[in-house]
Chains A and B, each alone.
Chain A
Amino acid sequence: MRFLLLLLLLLASSLSHAADPELLEPEKAFRLAARLTAADAIEVRYIIAPGYYMYRDKFRFVLEPAGAKLAEPQLPRGRMKRDPYFGDVETYRDEVTIRVPIESAGGAVASVHLMATSQGCADVGVCYLPQEQKVELRLAALGGAFVDAAPGIIGAAPGVQPGAAVGTTPGEDGAIAALFRGGFWWLIASFFGFGLLLAFTPCVLPMIPILSGIIVGHGQHVTRTHGLLLSGVYVFGMALTYALAGVAAGLSGAMLAATLQSPWVLGGFAALFVALALSMFGLYELQLPVALQSRLAAATNRLPGGRFAGVFSMGILSALIVGPCVAAPLAGALLYMSQSRDVVLGGSALFAMALGMGVPLLAVGASAGALLPKAGPWMETVKRFFGFMLLAVAIYTVSPFVPVVVQMLAWAVLLMVSATYLRALDPLPAHARGFERFSKAIGVIALVTGAGFLLGALSGGRDVLQPLSGLRVGQAPSGTAAVVFQRVNNDGELERAIKSAAGKPVMLDFYADWCVSCKEMERFTFPEPRVQASLQQMVTLKADVTANTAEHAALLRRFQLFGPPGILFFDREGREIRGLRVIGFQSAAKFADVLEQALAAR
C-alpha cells in the first residue's frame, strides 16, 4: 500500500523546503513503528539509520485519550557511551524495540494514539531536537502489523492523524469495523484491480470461454443462473488457494522480520522484482514446468464439470497452473506481501486478487460470452503495465538504503520510459478515441514527472518527494555552461596563475563554505548571461579559505582582507585594480558593470 501512496505522492510532489543533503530528516534517521502485542502492551520499534544514535533516557510515551495510562516502558540495555558531562549514558544504534505495558485503555475506545517522544544525534556532531511522533493504534488490532508513524507530524506541530495500514486478527470484536478504516481496503481494492487486469493479459483472456465451457460441463444444458453459480464456485476455489499462498507469504515475512531490513535481503528482493518485470516485457517466459502443468491439467480434466464439488476442486487445482502472464505478477505480489509481514493482509489481498481474476469468468458464465472484450494487441499493454509496476516496487524496495540521487534517477528513467510506451511523444490521430486521449494524458503526466525527477537529480535536489528542491537552494545552477574557477591555495599558486594568465585580466574570488554572500554570488550573480560573457574573457581564480590555514591567512593578509567575501581584479599586467574590489553581495547588473571596467582596464 505504501508504495502506491508513494507513487501518488510522487505525482503530486510539491516544491516545499529542501532537505539538508548530508543529514537525514529526523523522521528518516529514526523510523518509528508501533503495534499492540497483547491486550495490555504496545511494542514500539525504532529503526535507526547507520551513523545515528538515540538516547535511552530520552524516550517518553503518552497515550491519548487522556484517560488511557501507560506503565513504565521496558527499555533494553543500550550501549554505554562516555559523556564528559553526564558520565556514562546509554545509547541505541541500528534498532531498538521497547515494550510499553498499558495500565488502562481509558474506557471503551476503538483506537488510541501513542505520542512517542525521542531524541537522538548523528555521529557527524549534530543533535536533533526531541521528536514527537504520533501513531494511531487500533485496540481491535492486537498482534497486528506495525504501524509506521505518518510523515510530517514530527516536531512542534503534532496532531496529524496517520492513515496507516493496519492488519487485524479475525474473530476479535470490532475487527471488521477496524478493517473499514485506513489503508487495508485500499490495498485489497488495488489487488482486486490487479487481478482483474491480469485476466486481460494475452495468455488468460482467450482461455476464458474455453474454461467456461469446461466448468459448465460439455454437452450439458444449464441455465444462466446455474452457470453463474458454477463459475462462482470455481473462482472461490481458486481464490482460496491464492489466499493460502498469501498467508504463507505473510507468515514467512513475519518470521523473517528482522532480517528483512538488511540491505542484502532488500537488494535481493529488488533484483527479483526486476527479473520478474523483464519477464513481463517478454524477455523470457516464467511459468511452472510444463510437465507439472500438464499433469495438473489432466487431473483437472478428470474432474466432472457441471457439479459444484467437482468445479470447486477444479478451481483449487487451476490456481496451481500458473501461466506465463500470471507467474511474474503473482510472484511479485507474494514477495510484496511477505514484506508486509502480515498474515491476514497477505491472505486477504491474494484472495481479492483471485476474485478480480475471476470476474471475467463470471461475466462469461452470466452472459454466455457477450460481455467479454475482444482479444487484441491491447492486451500486451496490460502485460507491460505489470512490468512497470514490478519495476516501481523494485525501486521502492531498495529506497531505504540507496542514495537519493540514484532513486531519483531510477524514478526518472522508469517514468519517462513508461511515458514513451504510453505514447506520450507520439502524435494523436485526428479522430482519436477517448481511451487513446486518456492514455496519452497519463503518459504526458508521467513524462513531466519523470523530467522533474531528472532535472531535480541533476540540479542537486536530494529529496524524492520534492525532486525540484535542488533548483531553489544553495546548489549550483543547472543548464548554462558555467565558468570554471581555478583553485588557488596560497601566494605561490596565485602568482603562478596570474603569470600564466597571458595578457588576460584575472578575477580572484575569496570563498568559504559558511559565507552566505559568497554563495549568493555563485548562485544568483555568476550564472547571469551578461556576467558569464565577461567572465569567459578572464582568468577566474577561487581561494577557498574555509579551513583558515596559515597559508590562507597569509593570502588574505596580502590583500588586507580579513576574510571572505571579497572579489579582486588584476589587470593584464598582473597588478591589482584597487578601485574595483567587490566586498559582499552584488546584483548581476552591478557586477556586470564592474566586470566591464575590469576588462577595459589597461
Chain B
Amino acid sequence: MKRARRMMLAAGVAVAAGAAGYAVNAWWRAGSQAEVGAAILAAQLTDLQGKSLAIEHWRGRVLVVNFWATWCAPCREEIPMFVRLQERHGARGLQFIGVAIDQREKVEAFAREFRMNYPVLLGGMEAVELSRRAGNRLGALPFTVIIGRAGHIAGVQLGIVKEAKLEGMIQALF
C-alpha cells in the first residue's frame, strides 16, 4: 500500500514534468516556420550600394539565403561553390542571397575578388536574430536557409554545406 502510493507519487511527478515540458514546447512552436520564413523575407537589409532592400524582392524564386562574413573562414570556403551553383541553376529559378554580418568595404572587396554572381546584403545583429529564429540558436556562421517559392522554409544548415547535399535541398523546390 505504502509502496504503491510512493510509486503513484513518483509517476505523477514524472508525468507533470513531462506535460509541462510539452506545453512549453507547443507554445514555443506557435511562432512556426512559416512565420519565420515571412520574417526573413520582410527584413529590411542594405545592399552594397547602401540602398535599403528586403529579400522579398526575390520572392517567387527558390532562395538560398546564406548568412556569412569575410572574417569567417568556413564561410569563405563555400562561396565559390555557391557561385558555381548560381551559374548552373540560376536559369531554373535558383537565387542565392548572401547576408553578410560584416563591414561594407570588406564585403565589396571580397565579392569582387571571388566574382560573386549573386546579391549580397549587409545585416547587423537583427539579421543574426532572424537566423536564430530560423534555428541558428548559437548565432554562428555560416548559416544557410532554403526558402521555397511560396516563402516557406524548406531546409536549414549550420556550418559548411556539401555541394551534393545542397543540390538535394533545392532539387525538390523547382
Binding site for B on A (CB under 8 A): 15, 17-20, 23, 25-26, 55, 58, 83-85, 119, 121-122, 124-129, 155-156, 425-427, 447-448, 451-452, 454-456, 459, 468, 471-473, 478-479, 512, 514-517, 520, 524, 545-549, 552, 556, 561-566
- A129 and B101 contacting across the interface, CB-CB below 8 Å: yes
Separation of A60 and B38 alpha carbons in the complex (Å): 36
B residues in contact with A566, CB < 8 Å = 172
Task: Identify 14 new A-B residue pairs, CB closer than 8 A, beyond the known A15-B24, A155-B139, A563-B168.
Answer: A23-B158, A58-B71, A85-B73, A121-B73, A125-B160, A447-B10, A448-B16, A468-B20, A468-B21, A514-B161, A515-B154, A515-B169, A556-B171, A561-B172
Of chain A, the residue at the smallest CB distance from B158 is A126
Q: Does B5 contact A (CB under 8 A)?
A: yes
Contact B28 A472 (CB under 8 A): yes
Tell me which residues across on chain B come within 8 A of A26, comparing CB atoms.
138-140
Give 17 pairs: A residue, B residue, CB < 8 Å, sorted on A: A17-B137, A20-B158, A23-B138, A126-B138, A127-B72, A128-B141, A129-B139, A427-B2, A451-B10, A468-B20, A472-B29, A473-B28, A512-B165, A516-B153, A516-B154, A545-B168, A564-B172
Q: Are B9 and A425 in contact (CB under 8 A)?
A: yes
Known contacts A451-B17, A563-B168; A516/B33 CB under 8 A:
yes
Answer whether residue B42 sits at the interface, using C-beta atoms and an 8 A cutoff: no
A19 near B137 (CB under 8 angstroms)?
yes
- For residue A132, give the distance in angstroms from its CB to the closest CB of chain B: 11
Q: Which residues of A contact B170 (CB under 8 A)?
A: 563
Q: Chain A's nearest CB lies how many Å from the CB of B78?
A: 9
Contacts of B21 in A (CB 8 A): 15, 455-456, 459, 468, 471-472
Chain A residues whose C-beta falls within 8 Å of the C-beta of B168 in the assembled complex: 512, 545-546, 548, 552, 563
Closest B residue to A24 by CB, please name it: B138
Given contacts A15-B24, A517-B154, contact A128 B138 (CB under 8 A): yes
Instruction: Give the shortest distance, in Å, between A508 (CB) and chain B (any CB).
Output: 15
**In the bound complex, CA of A84 to CA of B74 (Å):** 11
Whether B55 sits at the interface, judged by CB under 8 Å, is no
Say whether B25 faces chain A, with CB atoms less than 8 Å apart.
yes
Interface pair B25/A472, CB less than 8 Å apart = yes
Which A-chain residue is minimally distant from B161 (CB atoms)? A514
Partner of B169, one of A15, A20, A514: A514
- Specify the chain A residue showing the minimal Cβ separation from B124: A156
Cα-based distance from A552 to B165 in the complex (angstroms): 11
Hey, which chain A residues are within 8 Å of B2, CB to CB? 426-427
Q: Provide the main secondary structure of the chain B interface.
A: helix
Which residues of chain A are near B28, meaning CB under 8 Å? Answer: 472-473
> Is B65 on the interface with A (CB-CB < 8 A)?
no
8 Å CB interface, B148-174 against A: 153-162, 164-165, 167-174
Nearest Cβ in chain B — how far from A29, in angstroms? 9
Determine how close the nearest CB of chain B comes to the CB of A48; give it in whole angstroms.
16
User: Least Cβ distance of B150 to chain A in Å?
Assistant: 10
Question: Are A514 and B156 neighbours in the complex by a CB distance under 8 Å?
Answer: yes
Quick one: given A471-B25, A472-B28, A547-B164, are A563 and B171 in contact (CB under 8 Å)? yes
In the complex, the chain A residue whose C-beta lies closest to that of B140 is A126
A469 closest partner in B (C-beta): B21
**Which residues in window 34-83 of B have CB below 8 A to A?**
69-77
Chain A residue with Cβ nearest B74? A125
Partner pick for B69 among A25, A127, A520, A549, CB 8 A cutoff: A127
Q: Which chain A residue shows the least CB distance to B3? A: A425
The answer to whether B165 touches A472 (Cβ under 8 A) is: no
Q: Pick the residue among A126, A129, A562 that contacts B74 (CB under 8 A).
A: A126
In the complex the two chains form, what is the Cα distance from A55 to B72 in whole Å?
Answer: 10
User: Is the pair A512, B33 in contact by a Cβ cutoff of 8 Å?
Assistant: no
A454-B137 Cα distance, complex, nearest whole Å: 23
9 nearest interchain CB pairs?
Answer: A471-B21, A548-B168, A563-B172, A472-B25, A562-B172, A127-B72, A514-B155, A125-B74, A562-B171
**Distance of B149 from chain A, by nearest CB (Å):** 13
Please give the distance in Å from A589's CB to the nearest CB on chain B. 15
Does B159 lie within 8 Å of A20, measured CB to CB? no
Q: Would you call B155 and A455 a contact (CB within 8 A)?
A: no
Complexed CA–CA distance, A138 and B158 (Å) = 40
User: Which of B18, B76, B125, B173 lies at the interface centre, i.e. has the most chain A CB atoms within 10 A of its CB?
Assistant: B18
Say whether, besides A516-B33, A563-B169, A549 and B137 are in contact (CB < 8 Å): no
A425 adjacent to B6 (CB under 8 Å): yes
In the complex, what residues of B have CB within 8 A of residue A512's CB? 155, 165, 168-169
On whether A471 and B71 interact (CB within 8 A), knowing A128-B138, A520-B33, A546-B168, the answer reads no
Q: Which chain A residue has the least Cβ–Cβ distance from B110? A: A85
* Interface presence of B128 (CB below 8 A): yes
- In the bound assembly, the distance between CA atoms of A512 and B154 in angstroms comes to 11
| B72-A425 in contact (CB<8A) | no
CB <8 Å contact, A20 and B172 = no
Cα-based distance from A563 to B137 in the complex (angstroms): 26
A121 neighbours in B (Cβ, 8 Å): 72-74
B2 to chain A, nearest CB (A): 7
**Chain B residues whose CB sits within 8 angstroms of the CB of A84 once the complex forms:** 76
Closest Cβ of chain B to A84, distance in Å, is 8
Residues in B with CB closer than 8 Å to A549 are 164
Residue of B nearest to A19 (CB): B137
Tell me, rounded to whole Å, the shortest Cβ–Cβ distance linking A135 to chain B. 21
Picked from B13, B74, B135, B137, the residue with its CB within 8 Å of the CB of A448 is B13
Residues of chain B within 8 A of A124, CB atoms compared: 159
**A127 touching B169 by the CB < 8 A rule?**
no
- Given A514-B146, A548-B168, do A562 and B76 touch, yes or no (CB 8 Å)? no
Residue in B6, B137, B146 whose CB lies within 8 Å of A18: B137
Which residues in B have their C-beta under 8 angstroms from that of A125? 74, 77, 159-160
Query: Contacts A127-B71, A129-B101, A129-B140 given: A548-B20 contact, CB under 8 Å?
Result: no
Q: CB within 8 A of A514: which of B24, B74, B157? A: B157
B156: A residues at CB distance < 8 A: 514, 516
What residues of chain B lie closer than 8 Å to A58, measured between beta carbons? 71
Q: How far is the CB of A419 from chain B (nearest CB, A)?
A: 10
B137:A127 contact, CB within 8 angstroms: no
Cβ contacts under 8 Å, B18 to chain A = 455, 471, 478-479
Residues of A within 8 A of B74 (CB): 121, 125-127
Task: Looking at the assembled complex, report how far the CB atom of B41 sits from the nearest CB atom of chain A, in whole angstroms.
Answer: 16
Alpha-carbon separation in the docked complex, A15 to B21 (Å):
8
Is the pair B13, A451 in contact by a Cβ cutoff of 8 Å?
yes
A448 to B170, CA, bound (A): 45
- Any chain A CB within 8 A of the CB of B142? yes
Residues of A within 8 A of B76 (CB): 84-85
A548 adjacent to B9 (CB under 8 Å) = no
